Amino acid sequence: MKLQDLIYFNKLAELKNYTTVSEYFGVSQPSISMAIQRLEKEFNVELINRNQSHRQIRVSPNGKILQKHTLVITQEIENLKEDMHHNFKQPIRFGLPPIIGNYYFPSLALSLIKENILDDLDNIETGSSKLLELLRSGEIDMALLGSNEPIKSNVLNVQLLTQNDFKIIVSPDSPFAKKDKITIADLDQANFVSLSDNFVHTEAFNKLCSEHSAKVNIRYRTQNVELLKQLVSEDIGVSFLTEQSITPNDNLVAIPIDDENLKKFCVSIVYRKTHVLSPKEQELVELLTKQIEK
């Protein structure tokens, strides 16, 4: 089986026109037809339902199964090209969620400077869910990611560094402030300040609300963790954060959540298995592991 045959098939399944596919790859139309015939002979199934014109085609049920696999293969080829062309002298395309960055990066910066790594970082800051997408697509090379549970993947190298508890944060003036513990059900109909949807925190909290049949009144959404904490301190609403993000200077009360099934906030260093680490990237992994791992 030729890899190029799979690539031709994947594009034909997408465009559904032999002429268009042959023009896309700059080859003759018979080259595309022969590639499909070889695959059909290899698998002993019909992949393409052809009409009389042989121009407009339909993908057979077996062809749709193969298409799912070729989509993964072509994406991996693009990732491989990206990695092979990535010059080790170029910046490290590094994903850093704001919550993790706010807590760890100030103390890491001095170590990064000493190791001559800081100037090589090309940081992209957004929520962990979005960074995971960018990592899979090859748009970034490495990331520190937060997750509701340890990340499991066949295509990613994942090193779990630390785990921390989630807390409900409230203003010292909030009626909840005197509680030693709080349940999610206690928050039903409470005013809430939320992080944007691309944050792991939002996904985790929404799942908890669903499990406990609780509904909060979202008064404001933000990607800025510091703004969120300031709004909570002004008693605009309560919120949900990992304990890492809360400092003594925040004028907040952090309340443990009374839920024995509550998962912890995981922090991991993640990169694609197909990505060959440059010496600088290897140093970065070792430094992050040393500084964060607990």
SS3 content of the chain, % helix, strand, coil (to 5): 50, 20, 30
Sequence-ordered strand ranges (E) for the chain = 48-50, 57-59, 92-95, 121-124, 142-147, 156-164, 166-170, 191-195, 217-222, 239-242, 253-256, 265-272
In the structure encoding, which two tokens stand for residue 184, read together? 């999610």
What pLDDT score does 189 carry?
95
Over residues 120-175, the pLDDT tens digits come to: 888 899 889 899 999 988 899 999 999 988 898 888 999 999 999 999 999 999 99
Write the pLDDT tens digit of every residue in 68-99.
888 888 877 777 666 665 555 578 899 999 88
pLDDT of residue 76: 77
Average pLDDT over residues 246-259: 92
Q: What percentage of the chain has pLDDT greater than the value 70? A: 94
In percent, the amount of the chain with pLDDT more than 90 equals 39
CB 217 within 8 A of CB 191: yes
- Burial class from Cβ neighbours inside 10 Å (0-12, 13-18, 19+) for residue 290 reads exposed
Chain-centroid distance, C-alpha 17: 34
* pLDDT, position 134: 92
pLDDT at 278: 83
169-193 tens-digit pLDDT = 999 999 999 999 999 999 999 999 9
Tens digit of each residue's pLDDT (9 = 90 or more) over 7-43: 888 889 888 888 888 888 888 989 999 999 998 898 8
Average pLDDT, the chain: 88
pLDDT at residue number 82? 65
pTM as predicted: 0.63
